[in-house]
Structure 1
Amino acid sequence: MKFVVIGAGVIGSTLHRLLKRAGHDVIVVEAGKRKVYPTLIHSLLLKGEDVWLARRTLELYDQLRVKTREFPAYTILRDKGELPHLWEEVGVKIEEKYIDWLSSEAIVTRGSDRLVWIGSFIKSTPVVKGEARLSVNGGKTRVTVEGVQLSADYVILAAGAWNSKLYPEVRSKSYFCWAVAAYGPRQLDSSFVYDYELGFYSRPLLGLGLPLGILGDGDVVECEPEERLRVDYRNLVREASKRLGKLTPLYVGWGHCEGSPDMRPAYGRLRDDLLYVGGLDGYGAEVGPAVAEMVVDLVLKGEEKAGYLVDRFDDVQDFRLGREPHELP
């Protein structure tokens, strides 16, 4: 069969490899509007069913030979509930103790958090460059790129924040996401910190032992997918400095994420020959490849994963985006 995949992000790149491995012809179309950073987070410290998607994604990274590197993680969270038990089910090793350099009790986890060299994975995906246009003609979905029509048995819409622009029936919205590269103590580049008391996370920049890291707060601000917003990062740096020590901001990285009505991934058929996959809600590197695999299983095997199908939004008329799924409280 022939597939046209619109979007060469984490999902599109995974779809290309999985479908090619199954013996199908695949064209990936990429407009080149999204930012591709060298590394992203993969964490098993999620909640609900998404933990298992993250576990499967880790297995797929191994199969697809995507480079990852593990680091210890420190989570400061008072209302833990059943989360530690859930994390242990997917292989995370947990210890709770006082951490001197954080001046706080923390859940210390091993096997939970990694950097994923996602940039090289995405950039190695062969693409047709240009902006895709979708139309329906004679009951069949058509894809046109720079005036050239691409033929396919199936079209898969995987364009992230641009999905609802390409096909307005998609129930998703774009939001602005950003993080700050900062100079500070060496722990920045050797561990993950999730602080739900002060409202920030930090993660290694490249894991080379340099006193450099990335800070974020996970806030969601709805906007158009090509709109750049001004951000005030001073409060984030100030709060993180209370826990981590003196921090000097160096650079603000930004992009656009796609949020679904319930802030969880979604996939399924929009038409007989048109499939949608998205709503990664800021944690594409954690769950994206597993969601891509669900699309492949739907098309090739007729298998459906209850709870993630896009038709759960059929009755949604309007909505506001909530908190990102890895924001636990």
Structure 2
Amino acid sequence: MILNINNLAFSLLKVTIIGSGIAGSSLYYMFKKAGHNVKVIDPRIRRIFPSLIHSLLLVDKDVYLSKLALDFYKEFNIETKEFPSFTIGKIDEKLIKLWEEYGVKIEEKIIFNSKGIYAVGGDRLVYIKRMIDGVPIIKEKASVIKKGNTAIAKINDKYIESDIIILAAGPWNSQIFSVPTKSYYCWASLTLTQDSKLDRMFVYDYELNFYSRPFLGLGIRTAIIGDGETIEAKPCQRIKVDPEEVMTRARKRLGKLRVIYTSGEFCEGTPDMRPAYGRLLDNLYFIGGFDGYGAEVGPGVARLLFNFITKGEEDKDYIVDRFNGVKDFKIGKEPHEL
């Protein structure tokens, strides 16, 4: 069966989404609002953090994705809480102007005895667990079977009737179907701090290479600090990390820090460490490669995929076809950052 992508907007679809993380959940809300019949399959073996960072302070066109994501959160009443941020390091003037075009108010300040960019309106926590928990799921593992140039979604021995199937399983995508992504472990540490303002602001330090974000946002002496080494590994492997590698750098800027707890999850990267979406088979679509930036760019990429499926619109900067011919690659550094 070959679907005519230009006619999909005029008919109700049976949509099967594999994965109920940020991408799968965003697509569920979009397709459901448009009146389509949507099933979401997810065994829910991945930990869902209560809140994640959403930032407009990304690079180039990824700022546009982040704005699309913010529009999504507002459209579907996903709770967010805004905080100021302080960015240390060399920033191109064109990038500062781009952030200001998207509504971020910026001024130079000295904080932590360091000169940097103080931004208001660019950063927030998104209460992502509430969004994901609002999606009804079939709590099972799914598989995808290729038949000619079409795909069939299957749970155990049961086939799921679908007009389209969307692979949105994050680091599990490459285990379910052949896609140009790899999984890796990303982590951060909850810390006690000597400065309570760290629980009321974000810090992006591109000189010492760490970030700090509020834990609860109540002004208590805690913060979540990260940006350690990425560790390429398959999902659910046991990974042990030493947070001191990051803490040593962060202490140079923030003073005394004591690690309470270190935790992480598996992320998914593409060959160029940029998000990707597109069609893999006539009825099989893919979305992924968020590189730990799912809350920033995930709903934005989901909007691109939704428009691709229902309207035939294509954004070549993010289309998965750009990786045709790539056989292997190494996980690199996220180009969302400076």
Letter in 2 for 1:321: I
1:190 aligns with 2:188: no
The answer as to whether partners of 1:188 and 1:202 remain within 8 angstroms in 2 is: yes
Out of 241, 254, 264, the residue aligned to residue 254 of structure 1 is: 264
Match of 1:291 in 2: 301
1:171 aligns with 2:180: yes
1:43 aligns with 2:55: yes
Pairs within 5 Å for 1:266-305: 266-305=276-315
The answer as to whether partners of 1:281 and 1:325 remain within 8 angstroms in 2 is: no
Bigger mean CA deviation after superposition, 318-327 or 126-135: 318-327
Bigger mean CA deviation after superposition, 319-328 or 20-29: 319-328
Q: Deviations over 1:213-236 (max 9, x none)?
A: 100115322111221211010121
SS in 1 for 2:327: coil
1:74 aligns with 2:89: no
2: CA distance, partners of 1:287 / 1:66: 15
SS in 1 for 2:337: coil
Out of 198, 208, 214, the residue aligned to residue 218 of structure 2 is: 208
SS in 1 for 2:153: strand
Q: Go from structure 1 to structure 2 and tell me whether the alpha carbon gap of 1:218 and 1:301 turns closer, same or farther (over 3 Å shift).
A: farther
Bigger mean CA deviation after superposition, 114-123 or 315-324: 315-324
Bigger mean CA deviation after superposition, 219-228 or 307-316: 219-228
Runs of 4+ deviating beyond 6 Å = none
The answer as to whether partners of 1:5 and 1:12 remain within 8 angstroms in 2 is: yes
Pairs within 5 Å for 1:132-151: 132-137=142-147, 139-151=149-161
Please state how far the C-alpha of 1:79 moved relative to its aligned partner: 4.7
- Given the two structures, how large is their TM-score scaled by the length of structure 2? 0.93
Q: Which runs of 5+ in 2 are unaligned?
A: 1-12
Match of 1:14 in 2: 26
1:98 aligns with 2:115: no
Q: Which runs of 5+ in 1 are unaligned?
A: none
Please state how far the C-alpha of 1:35 moved relative to its aligned partner: 1.4
Please state how far the C-alpha of 1:138 moved relative to its aligned partner: 5.7
2: CA distance, partners of 1:219 / 1:15: 31
Match of 1:59 in 2: 71
SS in 1 for 2:315: coil
The answer as to whether partners of 2:59 and 2:335 remain within 8 angstroms in 1 is: yes
Match of 2:10 in 1: none
State percent identity of aligned pairs: 48
SS in 1 for 2:20: coil
SS in 1 for 2:302: helix
SS in 2 for 1:19: helix
Give aligned pairs, total: 325
The answer as to whether partners of 2:149 and 2:282 remain within 8 angstroms in 1 is: no
The answer as to whether partners of 1:219 and 1:323 remain within 8 angstroms in 2 is: no
Q: Deviations over 1:34-69 (max 9, x none)?
A: 210000000011001100110111111000100001
SS in 1 for 2:39: strand
Q: Deviations over 1:86-139 (max 9, x none)?
A: 21121111101222xx11001000000000000111111110011111102365
Match of 1:34 in 2: 46
- Given the two structures, how large is their TM-score scaled by the length of structure 1? 0.96
